[in-house]
Amino acid sequence: MTGEIILTYAIAISLLVGSIFALVGAIGLLKFNDSMTRLHAPTKVGTVGIGAFLLASMLYSFTYGEGSMHELLIMAFLFVTAPISANFMAKVNIHRRACDTPPEPPRDDTWSTLNVPEEDKHMEGDSAKPSSTAG
């Protein structure tokens, strides 16, 4: 088998994988009821499907013509911008109260600080002591 035949099989597999992921993303976009669950279909599954299509295009251009790196730039742009746009769409849904929001976390001054809660102060001194297993 020559390299051209192997790359042709790789192109076919990449197109098949891309079409399956794109089909699952489209079905998920239609089937999910809530806007937050519907958000996952095009951003997660669709991104992988489009990435597989672009990979097939890159392989084809390097196999049967002059190679091009345009697809690599498109893929990088897609993989960077898709999570950001999904985050913004989720924030809009949360701020519009269009979805169930998680409960508010308890308010205290120990989260993300070096303050230790009162009930854990007895453990603070234990971790500073050296172990007595010198041998």
φ, ψ of residue 25 to 5 degrees: the values are: -65, -40
Structure token digits, residue 80:
């960077």
d(CA 7, CA 63): 7
Selection from 33, 112, 39, 128 nearest residue 82 by Cα: 39
Give me the chain's average pLDDT, please: 81
The pLDDT assigned to 11 comes to 94
Q: Is-above-0.75 flag for pTM?
A: no
DSSP letters, 41-59, are: IIIIIHHHHHHHHHHHHHH
More confident position, 132 or 45: 45
Q: Alpha carbon of 14 to those of 6, 20, 45, 50, 71: distances in Å? A: 12, 10, 14, 10, 14
The pLDDT assigned to 79 comes to 84
With 60 as the cut, is the pLDDT of residue 133 above it? no
Share of the chain above pLDDT 90, in %: 19
Structure token digits, residue 99:
């979805």
More confident position, 62 or 98: 62
With 80 as the cut, is the pLDDT of residue 125 above it? no
Mean pLDDT of 116-125: 74
Grade residue 75 by pLDDT with cuts at 50, 70 and 90. confident
More confident position, 11 or 126: 11
- Per-residue pLDDT reduced to its tens digit, 82-110: 888 888 888 888 887 766 666 777 777 77
Burial 64-85 (b: 16+ CB within 10 A, else e): eeeeeeebeeebeeeeeebeee
